């Protein structure tokens, strides 16, 4: 299938590794050009090099929790890519913990980065997007069912999912699509960190896989290909929806 990505430009945050990088890889491999961002300049540089560098890939370190980061990223994408046809917005996961154990400061930090950082970027993006553009928010299966030990994610991700639904209504008349992607357990550094924090990583991985219908965790490239399709012109009638990429672990429809 031709996804129609040739020559198109995309901004991806949280994309120096993991799910964001896998999506950037899939987009570039299909002919798109990308500007990727994450907090660490060395990680951004390494990812850009791995993607082949300019003119296929550019990078800019930024922290979405910083109020000026969104405008800076969008300006860089317009300058380097020449056009912006969409974005994948991925923000680092909030601190793990149970509801009664998590510190209020961790909740405030997560609201500023995960929630407000995402909204700031979308607001900065909309003026430069044209008909046929797409915005994808990387959320979590916590949108549909809570994940143990991830209380803050359980609290914030569903709100962002509903924000995406509202944005799909607001931007649909302009031909701009908005959707969410709900990764389950994918083999990224984030998952490794969560498993390590449990104190029994091997046992936690075994329990996780036992509950997944496919009996394994996902690979980043499996998520990246789905995300690239969702952002592409091939998915032109797909908006306002949440797409689980989870091996079947989500029990809700």
Q: Is the pTM of this model over 0.85?
A: yes
Q: Which alpha helices (H) appear in the chain, and where do they start and end? A: 18-29, 41-50, 69-81, 104-110, 117-125, 151-171, 189-197, 201-211, 220-231
By the 10 Å C-beta count (0-12 exposed, 13-18 middle, 19+ buried), 2 is classed as: exposed
Q: Which helix (H) or strand (E) holds 82?
A: none
Give ∠ CA 11-20-180 in degrees, rounded to 5. Answer: 80
Q: Is the pLDDT of residue 191 over 80?
A: no
By the 10 Å C-beta count (0-12 exposed, 13-18 middle, 19+ buried), 223 is classed as: buried
Instruction: With cut-offs at 50, 70 and 90, classify the pLDDT of residue 207.
Output: confident
Question: Cβ(121)–Cβ(87) under 8 Å?
Answer: yes
Instruction: With cut-offs at 50, 70 and 90, classify the pLDDT of residue 73.
Output: very high
Nearest alpha-carbon partner for 94 in 105, 110, 108: 110
Give the N- to C-terminal CA distance of the chain in Å, as an integer.
27
Instruction: With cut-offs at 50, 70 and 90, classify the pLDDT of residue 227.
Output: very high
CA 61 to chain centre: 16
- The per-residue pLDDT for 194 is 74
Instruction: With cut-offs at 50, 70 and 90, classify the pLDDT of residue 198.
Output: confident
Q: Is the pLDDT of residue 190 over 80?
A: no
How much is the average pLDDT of 146-162? 91
Q: Is the pLDDT of residue 113 over 80?
A: yes
**Structural domains in the chain?**
9-245 (3.40.50.720)
Distance CA 234, CA 107 (A): 38
Among the residue ranges 86-95, 118-127, 199-208, the one predicted with the least confidence is 199-208
Q: Higher confidence at residue 251 or residue 48?
A: 48
Distance CA 182, CA 226 (A): 11
């Amino acid at each position: 299938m031709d996804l129609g990505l040739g020559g198109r430009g995309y901004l991806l945050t949280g994309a120096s590794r993991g799910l964001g990088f896998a999506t950037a890889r899939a987009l570039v491999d299909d002919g798109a050009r990308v500007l990727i961002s994450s907090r660490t300049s060395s990680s951004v540089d390494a990812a850009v090099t791995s993607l082949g560098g300019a003119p296929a890939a550019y990078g800019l370190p930024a922290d979405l929790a910083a109020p000026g980061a969104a405008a800076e990223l969008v300006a860089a994408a317009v300058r380097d890519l020449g056009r912006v046809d969409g974005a994948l917005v991925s923000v680092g996961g909030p601190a793990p913990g149970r509801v009664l154990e998590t510190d209020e400061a961790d909740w405030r930090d997560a609201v500023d980065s995960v929630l407000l950082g995402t909204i700031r970027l979308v607001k900065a993006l909309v003026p430069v997007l044209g008909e046929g553009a797409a915005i994808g928010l990387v959320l979590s299966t916590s949108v549909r069912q809570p994940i143990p030990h991830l209380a803050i994610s359980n609290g914030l991700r569903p709100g962002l999912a509903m924000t995406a639904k509202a944005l799909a209504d607001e931007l649909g008349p302009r031909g701009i699509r908005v959707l969410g992607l709900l990764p389950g357990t994918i083999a990224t550094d984030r998952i490794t960190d969560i498993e390590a924090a449990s104190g029994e990583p091997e046992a936690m991985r075994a329990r996780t896989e036992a509950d997944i219908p496919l009996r394994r965790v996902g690979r980043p490239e499996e998520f990246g290909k789905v995300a690239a399709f969702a952002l592409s012109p091939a998915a032109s009638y797909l908006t306002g929806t949440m797409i689980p990429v989870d091996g079947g672990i989500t029990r809700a429809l």
